A and B are shown apart, each in its own frame.
Chain A
Amino acid sequence: MSEMEKPIVKISCQNLWKVFGRNPQHALNLIKDGMSKEEVLEQTGHVIAVRDISFDVTEGEIFVIMGLSGSGKSTLIRCINRLIKPTMGRIFIDGVDLSTMSGAKLRRTRRHKVCMVFQQFALFPHRSVVDNAAYGLEVQGVEKAQRKKRVLEALEMVGLKGWENSYPDELSGGMQQRVGLARALAVDPEVLLMDEPFGALDPLIRRQMQDEFINLMSVVHKTIVFITHDLNEALKLGERIAIMKDGQIVQIGSPEEIVSVPADEYVTEFVRDVPRSKVVSVRNIMREPELKLYRWQGPKVALHAMSEKNIRRAFIVDSWGRLSGVITLNEVARAIVRHVQRLDEVAREHALQIGPDQAIEEVIPLAASSDNPVAVVDEGGRLIGEVPRVALLLGMMGKENSNDTT
């Protein structure tokens, strides 16, 4: 974790503004003079759809933009590939400024680098599934055999093998969006812009598509800007989430930050119904282990230490601090009776364990299956904490780490 390379910024939006209306510059000046969005709309009929938005998306990240209807999400994402020209501000992809780009250069970027998936699928009804998926390559001028090969690959990736010659209106919503996804993937772009791609699907299909999407994205490495107004979807897919309101971003953060530390009332309202156990990670509720015993220590030492701390169970680690088992007070007592020399001769090998970045939700079944505390171990297998049941309950209620007294 500590020695990660510096993340590469893939998309960078800097002070983006979009005003719809006859004279955007005038409306912009009014705003700068302190007029409110509503007043501008009232007096000049201009809509401030995107308002001074800045953010960076790093390479390979899934960046989710969330907000209520009309908050400017679609406008913002369309600024990124310049389907909409921003009134002010700049957009960089790989450090290249798109905000001033036009003509052939812009087309080249759209053909090779940035593809889009639409809420209403936007498939061409007069083209079959293959021909739809091939559109991007066709526009690029890729020759036919090559095109076909890549399109079939993309269709297979999204699970549409065998449907090549169907037409969009013969497919269900979920399958239509797979075509939409294949159309974008066939081009093999570095960036995917997705405007509520699963918004038009019913909940069951939507969840299935989300899962498949996550799997797919772990195979093809893409930078993704994903729009949704469904918080659960955002929490599930997003590495970072930006919350939009009235054309502005009110908070950017990891799912956990958004849920645990909402920036304002609006976000609080948004995340009120989220089960905390889904997003709060174990790290936030774990404690220092109360007692670490070493494999080579004897049962008498263990008994002494345990009775001193008045605990009935302790984790056993090796000389490098790696978790190797768990032992109870009873087992220690029996070991003393049997004249055992080292704890590792009697310890149970399998302690319940979990990583610090997993959601609390995942600890619950573990904790329910036994009354031993759950051990928290890092990637090296070292014991870094434990989750007692009390902490788990408190964590689910939103009071993580409040009883750190040791």
Chain B
Amino acid sequence: MTPPSTSPNEETETAEAVPSKKITQRPFFQALIWLGVAGFVILLGWLLGDYRGGFYQLPLGGWVNTGVEWLIVNWAVFFDVIKDVTAAVLNNLEKFLLWLPWWSVLALIILLAWRLAGRRVAIFTGVAMYFIGMLGLWDLSMSTLALIATAVLISVVLGIPTGILCAYSDHVDAIERPILDAMQTMPAFVYLIPALMFFGIGKVPGVIATVIFALPPAVRLTNLGIRQVPVELVEAAHAFGSTSSQLLFKVQLPMALPSIMAGVNQTIMLSLSMVVLAAMIAAGGLGREVIMALGQVDVGRGFVAGTAIILIAMVLDRVTQSLGKVRRRAKAA
């Protein structure tokens, strides 16, 4: 059963929410399927693994290694393309930010904050960014900003369409949900290493690891935002003869915008929280500063770098928080 608010089809009916009581086979069938799966896994373990301490041993780790190796060999071109594109975006952005004189970047950021979030946030932004410069961390901050911007860009480009897909199909949603959970809860070190293997040392695996961690809220909140559009409005759009893309772009996306923007805001915050980890695989920026300080047990240097990260986080948060909201007033005025 598809949710009524999201079906793209103009012949859609409102939810037919009457489950048949009499189809007793359904739970039975499900139990059977689960039993089958369990049996299959045990059988596999028995066939392929050894038998230790009462458990059939499942060589899952071995399988994953084999799989990764296979991917590295056979999908090399695919990963290279991803690597090159990401590196191109990231490096050019970073170079550009560092090429501009610091005051023009500062002016740009302040202007952006002012347009998006108003005067108070603009003032705060100016003060915070100047302070970072005073700490001597301007260049490193620009690297970090470039890294985050690239990761967020990729997350948004992948996340919003995926979120739309999830909203349109309960099946996709059901498959996506555990994957997103895994992306957020799997310890980052676990995928940091394979990221290294696929993309080599440097900034690209850092970006990829950041995307893995920061992508889920973009998907989730896009999905949620579209599903929350009232059924009546979707119905009204259909009643006036909207095509499915008109429905999406004229009704669903604009109405989901605050939610989507909240998702983007979270994505930004999460990617910022990855900068230190990403620095461990040589992603550079403020993260590397923290790691070096740790290595030298230089508490002061670590504190300074940490402060810069916090300030950037606060600036980005304040600026993006108001994204979904300001639109309408600006338009009404």
Q: Give the Cβ gap from B101 to chain A, nearest Cβ, in Å.
A: 40
A84/B13 in contact, CB under 8 A? yes
Among A103-111, A211-219, A289-297, A316-324, which stretch is in contact with chain B? A103-111
Chain A positions within 8 Å of B236 at CB level: 116, 118, 122, 124
Instruction: Flag A75-88 by CB within 8 Å of B: 1 or 0 each.
Output: 00010011111000
In the assembled complex, the Cα of A328 lies from the Cα of B230 at a distance in Å of 70
Listed from nearest, the 3 A-B pairs whose CB atoms lie closest are: A111-B241, A110-B241, A122-B236
Would you call B11 and A20 a contact (CB within 8 A)? no
Are A22 and B232 in touch, CB under 8 angstroms?
A: no
Q: How far is the CA of A107 from the CA of B255 in the complex (A)?
A: 23
User: Which of the 9-residue segments A42-50, A58-66, A333-341, A345-353 touches chain B?
Assistant: A42-50
Task: Compute how far the CA of A82 lies from the CA of B236 in the bound complex, rounded to whole angstroms.
Answer: 12
CA distance A21 to B18 in the complex (A): 5
Task: Report B230 CB to chain A, min CB distance, Å.
Answer: 8
The CA-CA distance from A116 to B241 in the complex, in Å, is 11
Q: How many residues of B contact A (CB 8 A)?
A: 34
| Contact residues in B for A44 (Cβ distance below 8 Å) | 20-22
The verdict on A140 contacting B241 (CB below 8 Å), with A20-B18, A21-B16, A85-B11 known, is: yes
Nearest to A136 among chain B residues (CB) is B240
Q: Is B49 an interface residue (CB 8 A)?
A: no
Q: Quick check: is A198 within 8 A (CB to CB) of the other chain? A: no
The answer to whether A128 touches B332 (Cβ under 8 A) is yes
Contact in complex: A23, B20 (CB < 8 Å): yes
Interface 9-mer from B246-254, B278-286, B291-299, B309-317: B246-254
Given contacts A106-B10, A125-B255, A135-B250, A81 and B239 within 8 Å (CB-CB): yes
Nearest chain B residue, comparing its CB with the CB of A102:
B11
Those of B176-214 within 8 Å (CB) of chain A = none
Q: Report the minimum CB–CB distance from A15 to chain B (whole Å).
A: 19
Chain A residues lying within 8 Å of B318, measured Cβ to Cβ, are none
Which chain B residues in 1-43 approach chain A with CB under 8 Å? Answer: 10-14, 16-23
* Min CB–CB distance A398 → chain B (angstroms): 42
Binary CB contact string for chain A from 110 to 123 against chain B (1 if under 8 A, 0 otherwise): 11100110101010
Residue of A nearest to B15 (CB): A20
Interface hits, A169-189 → B, CB 8 Å: 183, 187
Instruction: Give the number of residue pairs across the A-B interface with Cβ within 8 Å.
Output: 102
Q: Is A368 an interface residue (CB 8 A)?
A: no
Measured as residues with beta carbon below 8 angstroms from the partner, the interface class of chain A is 35 or more
Contacts of A122 in B (CB 8 A): 230, 232-233, 235-236
User: Which residues 14-54 in A have Cβ within 8 Å of B in the complex?
Assistant: 20-23, 43-47
| Chain B residues, CB < 8 A from A309 | none
CB distance from B112 to the nearest CB of A (A): 23
21 A-B residue pairs with Cβ-Cβ distance under 8 Å, sorted by A, are A21-B16, A22-B18, A22-B23, A46-B18, A107-B242, A108-B241, A110-B10, A110-B239, A110-B241, A112-B241, A118-B236, A122-B236, A124-B236, A124-B251, A125-B255, A135-B237, A135-B240, A136-B240, A139-B242, A167-B328, A167-B332
A45 touches B19 (CB 8 A): yes
Once bound together, how far apart are the Cα atoms of A83 and B4, in whole Å? 11
Max count, chain A CB within 10 A of own CB: residue among B20, B22, B236 = B236
Inter-chain CA distance A97–B145, complex, in Å, is 60
Chain A's closest residue to B257 (CB) is A126
* Cα–Cα, bound, A115→B14 (Å): 18
| B238 contacts A by Cβ under 8 Å | yes
Query: Considering the chains assembled together, what is the distance between the CA atoms of A23 and B238 in angstroms?
Result: 25
- Are A83 and B239 closer than 8 Å at their CB atoms? yes
Neighbouring A residues of B242 by C-beta, 8 Å? 107, 139
Chain B neighbourhood of A85, CB < 8 A: 11, 13
The answer on a CB contact under 8 Å between A43 and B22 is yes
Residues in B neighbouring A22, C-beta threshold 8 A: 16, 18-20, 23
Given contacts A106-B10, A106-B11, A135-B250, contact A165 B332 (CB under 8 A): yes
Q: Which residue of B lies closest to A82 (CB)?
A: B11
